[in-house]
Amino acid sequence: MVDYDQLSDDALTDLLKTGEQAAFEAIYNRYWDKLFYTAHRIVKSSQIAEEITQDVFLLLWTKKETLNIASLGQYLAAMLRYEVYRSLSKMKKQQVYESEVRYTTTPFISIEKDIENKLLLEIITTLTNQLSEKCRLVFQYNKLEDRSLADICQELQISPKTAEAHLTKALKVVRASLSDPINFILQIFILAQL
């Protein structure tokens, strides 16, 4: 029985060309660690280095009959370099693609959010338009324009208690309308018709 681990690289290469699986396994066991270490040093990822090393050995096995190998170690090193470059190129293209996807989808997400905000603002405006004028103004100034109650009281010439009462009433109306799903859907439907 042949001890493949004791054979030279040239002898293993000759046997590999004839399809000798044991010769391939001996080459694999002899060079796996060296190739993996070299790939890992470059790509800094165990998983990617392992994939690259596997690809080298897969390519070696699939092209075994057509290979013209003068030095097995140098040949495998060249195959590894090629696979590392191919892998790095693929990763770079993937990063560029992901960056482009993020860049192109961000405006759509922003537009979608703007539409949602405008729709919600229209619904709230429609709901508050049903309130008395002062009640509506207190709500709009405080919640939509983010003004303080003191500022609103001074402008509308009302007491702080009255402003709070108007705000409480307006919030109850808005919450009641928005918490009822059917009413909310109807509001969206009515606004879509306008």
Tell which wins on pLDDT, 98 or 70: 70
> Per residue in 19-54, pLDDT tens?
899 999 999 999 999 999 999 998 888 999 999 999
Q: Identify the pLDDT of residue 194.
A: 44
- Asked if pLDDT for residue 191 goes beyond 50, the answer is no
Measured in whole angstroms, the distance separating CA 124 from the mean position of its chain's CA atoms is 34
Residue 133 in domain = yes
Could you give the number of structural domains in the chain? 2
Residue 143 in domain = yes
85 plus 142 within the same structural domain: no
Task: State the Cα–Cα distance between residues 79 and 20, nearest whole angstrom.
Answer: 20
Residue 124 in domain = no
Q: At what angle do helices 72-128 and 21-43 cross, to 10 degrees?
A: 50
133 plus 179 within the same structural domain: yes
83 plus 165 within the same structural domain: no
> Per residue in 87-119, pLDDT tens?
888 888 887 777 776 666 555 556 666 666 676
CATH number of the domain enclosing 163: 1.10.10.10
63 plus 19 within the same structural domain: yes
For residue 107, the SS3 value is: helix
Cβ atoms 174, 127 nearer than 8 A: yes
Whole-number mean pLDDT of the chain? 81
CATH number of the domain enclosing 43: 1.10.1740.10
Question: By CB neighbour count within 10 A (0-12 exposed, 13-18 middle, 19+ buried), where does 1 fall?
Answer: exposed
Q: Which two tokens stand for residue 37?
A: 């270490």
- Asked if pLDDT for residue 177 goes beyond 90, the answer is no
Q: Which two tokens stand for residue 116?
A: 């949602």
> Per residue in 141-153, pLDDT tens?
887 778 888 888 8
Rg of the chain taking only CA atoms, in angstroms: 36
Residue 65 in domain = yes
Task: State the Cα–Cα distance between residues 100 and 17, nearest whole angstrom.
Answer: 45
Residue 116 in domain = no
Residue 186 in domain = yes
Domain extent for 145: 129-193
pTM: 0.50
24 plus 83 within the same structural domain: yes
Q: Identify the pLDDT of residue 193.
A: 45
